[in-house]
Amino acid sequence: MKIKTSEIVMSAVSPKQYPEGILPEIAFVGRSNVGKSSTINTLLCRKKLARISSSPGKTRTINFYLINEEFYLVDLPGYGYAKVSKDERASWGKIIETYLSTRSNLHEVILLVDIRHQPTKDDQLMYDWIKHYGFGRIVVATKSDKISRSQTHKQFKVIREKLKMAPEDIILPISSLKKEGIDQLWGALTNFFIQ
């Protein structure tokens, strides 16, 4: 994918703030700190477009990044972060749920999981939920620099089984640190959703 332009268009918390128009959107979901914002930066060859942090709970709004004036990558707040208040967690949950369940521009939702860990109960629920809406054909396993190549296949099996992924669904490793897996992810996105 040749990135000619990438810009943040909106940080939204409610539907009236979503961008107008009919351009397709691809959203990234996953636990807090799994690497959603980093993955978006890496895909776009930008260091600081999406803000990242070593402490979970960095992204608190729905951020719409317009690419080549043709489609959006959408960064969402993470779930499963224990250290925010119950009220705040409920409010993030509502923000994510409203977007995912009502947004007609949505073409795909990509679940990100940490390659080192078993998907959590929240990951399983999220994957079931996005599958129910017809998404979830790509799962991204983040931080692939943290394990060896031989461990990768073992972890893929664990992730596939835990999430009950269908054989045709694909799982792709990505390392924002080493900039690995980017072409493969763009390839999958281009094949499936972007003309």
Binding-site ranges for Mg ion (CB under 5 A): 36-37, 58-59
Which of 6, 27, 32, 111 touches ligand GTP (CB under 6 A)? 32
Task: Return d(Cα 22, Cα 132) in angstroms, integer.
Answer: 23
Which of 26, 175, 185, 189 touches ligand GTP (CB under 6 A)? 175
Contact 178, 146 (CB under 8 A): no
Size of the site for ligand GTP (CB under 6 A): 24
- Whichever of 67 and 113 has its CB closer to ligand GTP, that residue is 113
Contact 52, 37 (CB under 8 A): yes
- Stretch 138-157: interaction string toward ligand GTP, x if CB under 6 A: ----xx-xx-----------
- Whichever of 44 and 70 has its CB closer to ligand GTP, that residue is 44
Which of 26, 27, 29, 34 touches ligand GTP (CB under 6 A)? 34
Token duo for residue 84 = 């925010």
The angle subtended at Cα 172 by Cα 149 and Cα 78, nearest 5°, is 110
Contact 167, 175 (CB under 8 A): no
CA dist 100 to 130, 158, 178, Å? 8, 26, 30
Task: Return d(Cα 118, Cα 85) in angstroms, integer.
Answer: 25
Q: Does 181 bind ligand GTP (CB under 6 A)?
A: no
Contact 8, 61 (CB under 8 A): no
- Whichever of 70 and 116 has its CB closer to ligand GTP, that residue is 116
- Whichever of 66 and 112 has its CB closer to Mg ion, that residue is 112
Which of 6, 18, 27, 35 touches ligand GTP (CB under 6 A)? 35
Which of 46, 57, 152, 158 touches ligand GTP (CB under 6 A)? 57
Among positions 68-107, residues that touch ligand GTP (CB under 6 A) are 77-78
